Each structure stands twice: as structure tokens, then as C-alpha cells.
Amino acid sequence: MNDSDRPDDLPQLIRRAISRRQFVGQSALAAGGVALGGSLLAACKGKAPAQSTGPLRVSNWPFYISPETVPDFQKDTGITVQYSEDVNDNNEFFAKIDEPLKRGQSIERDVIVLTDWMASRLIRLGYTAPFDDTKFPNKANLVDALVNVSYDPGRKFSVPWLSGMTGIGYNPAKTKREITSFNDIFDPKFKGQVTMLTEMRDTLGLVMLGMGKDPATCTVADAQAAAAKITQARESGQIRAFTGNDYAEDLASGNISIAIAWSGDIQGLHADNPDLRWIAPSEGAMLYSDIMLIPKTSDRQDLAMAWINWCYDPTHSAKIVIEAPYISPVKGTMAEIEKVQPDLAKSPLLNPPADLSARLHMFRTLSDEEDTEFNRIFQAAIGA
């Protein structure tokens, strides 16, 4: 655990070899089995305590993991993973899984990652399976601030995958000035070069902050006022599109100059356009967490627990965060990053300093009726 994370590091390789050998011993396979890929090992492991044969099926958001994470996990545990980046929108994903989960049918997934407010809804609806803490020793690594959340006190059904901030991404070459305030997004100079997110809590929350309202305590009237502002900007042609993850390519290619953006995305775009910047507006930025859940109909919950536990090892979390620069909920991750990439460890995107943390807001929990009403107001504002 104290070894460096570089793959060419000898101690690291030894550690991996040992963990593999331990696994082979446990599953009572001949030593020759090491040479056979993870899939065969996993197939054999099915006879052991796991509830069902077949791979572990994980659904997550795009660009949210290190390319090494799944292979490393397969090597360490012998469990085959079918990793899909098929979550693009909380509401859309919910629309897909709602009916089968209501009827108690399989959704062909064992771990799903959804944003906190949606995770809260799934837990409330009883769609998720409780965690088996005996298989989750690394739960102790969850940062203290995230243990007792309103929707799941003590984290019996859920743990965060990563947390992120929603603020402004911009292209200084096109804005020709530094952007500090959220309300710069309404500057007529940027007419037709602005995008906002279809994710209601992000867009509505930031517009409210720009109007001096706190999304943590907002009312329907606040939502209507923010929606009116969005409607006006849309009708005047200020806003070019409302997007999901796809604002990124428009920002990189120069079609837009300024966008509501997720904190970790801009780093990934630097390969295309190193000038792009992400800022938390002076009025405040939104903070969210994406949460790992096990659907109650999963027949591979042991494998799911193995995955969650493995991801809560700081060395593994560090690798993920180096590729997807968001905030890790795992204690000790920053220390691991410090060892391999000291510059990155200073990034406010991974480790928000106190002055930034003070400006982060969360959208308040909405009841189902409120959620419907807010959504209706927001969808009308974005012209849907």
C-alpha cells in the first residue's frame, strides 16, 4: 500500500503477484491457472459463494474511470467485469430501470452510478440492495463528511464514486477576457456561443446563485424566476444549446465560448485545446456526488461488493482520479497522488481549497411532487 503507483515499480509488481497468488490459493485452482485470463478464473469462481455465474456488470458515466482500473481489478480478484459507460442522464437512466425494478426484474446490472438526488430516490423507492459490510472493510476509508448523508445515514445502501463541481468552462481565446461571474454567461457579446446543461439541478442551481438565491433553500418562486431568465436567454438566441456531456466537443472545437461545465471535463479537453479553463463563479458553484448503488435485483451482489471495496482502496482511487480529475471520497487518495503526480495533487479540481469549498452549494432535496413541478418549470424554460 505504501508502494508507488508506477506500473514499472518493482515492489508494486510484487504486491500484485502476491495478491494474485493469494486469490489462486483461495479458489483452490492449480498454479497454472494464473496464466489463464481473468474470464476463466471468474467462471470457476462462480462455483464458490457467489450467487450467480457471469461477469460483474457496472454502469457508469462516460470518461469517469482510468483505463487501467478494470484490468487491475480483474487481475487482483479474478472477477470479470463488463463495464459500460451507458449513464448519460439521470432521468433518462431512471426511465429505463424504473419499470423492471418496480416489478422486481433484473436490469442486467450489478453496480450503477447515479447522482446523489437520484440515488436518494432509488433508495427511497426500495430499488437498491443493502451493502454487506463484512465484505466492505475499506468502508472505513470513506471521508467522514460523506458518511452521514440525509438520504442514507451510515451509508447502508450507497457510497460515492466521485464528487464534482458544476461551474463555468470557457475558452479565453474566444471570450477575450477572464470570466469570474456566472452572469457573464448572459453577456450579449457571447450571443449564440453559450451552452447550459440539461441537468436541472446544475443549471437551475447556478442561475439561482447568479441571482443571489441559495439552491439549498430555494422555493418554487425562485425556480420560476431562474427559469424566466433562462427562457429569455434562450428566446433571444443567447443560448445555443442545452446539452449533456456533449458540450465538451463544442467547447474544444470553438463552436461555443462559454458553458456550464463539470469540473473534471475541461482537463480531459486540454489535449484538444490547452487554453480551456474551468472556474467556480464568484457567486458560487454546485457540488454533487455520483453514487454507487447495487440494484436489489442483482444476482451478483458479492461481486458488486468486491468491486466497491476494491475501488475504496486509496491506491486504486488515486488512479481513477488521475484520469478523471474529480474529488475522490476515499481517504488517503491525495497522499497517493502526491507520490506520483505532486502537481496534480495541488489542483483545486481534486482537492478544493477552503475558499472554494466555502462557495460550493448543494441543491436541496425535493419531494416527488416538488421534483415534478421543478422539472416541468425547467423543461419549459429550456424549450422541451
Partner 1 sequence: MAGTATASERRNPLAPYLLIAPGVLWLLVFFVVPIATLAKTSLAGEGVPWWDGYARAFTDYGGFMLRSFKFSLFATLVAIALGYPLAYVIAFRSGRFKNFLLGLVILPFFTTFLVRTFAWKTILNDAGPVVSLLQWLHFLGPDGRLLNTTWAVIGGLTYNFLPFMILPIYVSLEKIDRRLTEAAQDLYCSPGRAFAKVVLPLSLPGVFAGSLLTFIPASGDFINAELLGSPNQRMIGTVIQNQFLQVHDYPLAAALSFVLMAIITIGVVAYARVLGTEDLA
Residue 95 touching partner 1 (CB under 8 A): yes
**Which among 49-57, 102-110, 337-345, 370-378 is the span making contact with partner 1, rule CB under 8 A?**
370-378
**Which among 44-52, 55-63, 87-95, 289-297 is the span making contact with partner 1, rule CB under 8 A?**
87-95
**H-helix segments, the chain:** 10-26, 38-45, 69-77, 90-102, 116-124, 172-175, 200-210, 220-235, 247-253, 265-269, 301-311, 314-323, 333-340, 342-345, 354-357, 368-381
- For 198-232, the DSSP string reads S-HHHHHHHHHHHTT--TTS--HHHHHHHHHHHHH
**Which among 202-210, 238-246, 259-267, 294-302 is the span making contact with partner 1, rule CB under 8 A?**
238-246
Place of cell 457540488: 287
Residue 341 touching partner 1 (CB under 8 A): no
User: Which cell numbers hold the place of 360?
Assistant: 460550493
Q: How far apart are CA 90 and CA 97, in angstroms?
A: 11
Residue 201 touching partner 1 (CB under 8 A): no
Smallest distance, Å, CB 299 to partner 1?
Answer: 27
Query: Residue 239 or 261: which CB sits closer to partner 1?
Result: 239
SS3 72: helix
Smallest distance, Å, CB 372 to partner 1?
Answer: 8
Residue 253 touching partner 1 (CB under 8 A): yes
Smallest distance, Å, CB 171 to partner 1?
Answer: 12
Whether residue 261 contacts residue 165, with contact meaning beta carbons closer than 8 Å, is answered with no
Size of the site for partner 1 (CB under 8 A): 26
Residue 88 touching partner 1 (CB under 8 A): no
Residue 241 touching partner 1 (CB under 8 A): yes
Whether residue 329 contacts residue 143, with contact meaning beta carbons closer than 8 Å, is answered with yes
Q: Which residues bind partner 1 (CB under 8 A)?
A: 89, 91-92, 94-95, 98, 192, 198, 234-235, 237, 239-242, 253-255, 372, 375-376, 379-380, 382-384
